[in-house]
Structure 1
């Protein structure tokens, strides 16, 4: 049974985001949605000696109707600042040197000014490091009509999917009956019960960027992700 997930792109997302990607056959980035301020599209959290800190990509928002894939960066030096901050806070992490070249190149050779493209760049690179083989596409590649839930149903149908895997936040608005009518099963992700890993600067915090997990656990990162353990996808 082909599984599909649909979600807006996030900047260097937390491990749960990648567990969702790893749980499906096709993951659709739904960046034709409205850009929202103070959300995960352009920012995420890291650990520092002074507690959790936001890393935020400064973007332009010209109107409330602006879509995520229309959103552009307004500070051309954001990438230099972010990489410097990561170096300052993770240089002593066990696997920082292991990933240093990869992420330094991702940050410092980045030439796009579109938020969606920046997010995709990091998401695909991190999936590659984790061994996630899921097909990643964009909603722009499909025709899906109108209606909040109807659009999702049509996107899943377009992929040939028979099961829609959703994050728990969508329970507030998703009309499951429309999926049932289309012969599509709805499954909800459960982000509870994550195992703690070696992390700098106690106390432990689960809700930070996956970079924290990579820098601290390296190639063993998948051992601390639910989808790899539950689906038997641990790779050597």
Structure 2
């Protein structure tokens, strides 16, 4: 068997493409032993509201300049109740709100008790994967010995994981040196996020780059028809 892995920082309730990437590999490695970046997807994501796209952001403490994602702590526990209230108000008329509301509310209730951003993100990622029927093994970069510069770390993790193929998101084309993977006997493949079909979404015009919650609440069990894998 040719093992394929992906290595990516955790995001807060990510968009559908993030979950397509997870489904496409044998092991998904959450790469939170890297620097936390402000105004990024680590602690925030978007939903579609009547007034347009709206950010949901988890308040976090940035206590040091080179703070890792895995070290980033929550600044205000009230965020979970606030986010759930916004989601429930926004999607109350979505076709599958009644079906998923108790489940999603329970996720937020559990997330409220977490002190670390990584734990919150992992909770949502694993819960959504279960809801989507994604059985990919999910591990953490903490389970591996991290060595070298940015690219060498990825190569090293792939080696330790026994990967023959590394599936990368398209944004990494700017820095990823495929030759260094090839030297280690690892083939690089690139995820594509074009060609997604639109689905019946509240509040047109349609927007793809919103949280997976939008897809679940609008199309429910028909979600597979609007994803890639």
After superposition, residues 1-236 of structure 1 pair within 5 angstroms as: 1-110=2-111, 111-227=113-229
Q: CA deviation at 1:100?
A: 1.0
Distance in 2 separating the partners of 1:192 and 1:47:
20
Q: CA deviation at 1:101?
A: 1.2
- Where 2:74 maps in the other structure, the secondary structure is coil
TM-score, L = length of structure 2:
0.98
- Where 2:54 maps in the other structure, the secondary structure is strand
Distance in 2 separating the partners of 1:99 and 1:113:
25
Distance in 1 separating the partners of 2:146 and 2:184:
14
Q: CA deviation at 1:147?
A: 1.1
Q: Which runs of 5+ in 2 are unaligned?
A: none
TM-score, L = length of structure 1:
0.95
**Counterpart residue number, 1:231:** none
Distance in 1 separating the partners of 2:116 and 2:97:
27
Distance in 1 separating the partners of 2:214 and 2:110:
22
* 1:153-173, Cα deviation, whole Å (9 max, x unpaired): 111111111000000000000
Distance in 2 separating the partners of 1:127 and 1:222:
12
* 1:62-105, Cα deviation, whole Å (9 max, x unpaired): 11200000001111100000000000100110111111111111
Distance in 2 separating the partners of 1:220 and 1:99:
13
Q: CA deviation at 1:217?
A: 0.6
Q: CA deviation at 1:144?
A: 2.7
Q: Which runs of 5+ in 1 are unaligned?
A: 228-236
Distance in 2 separating the partners of 1:149 and 1:89:
41
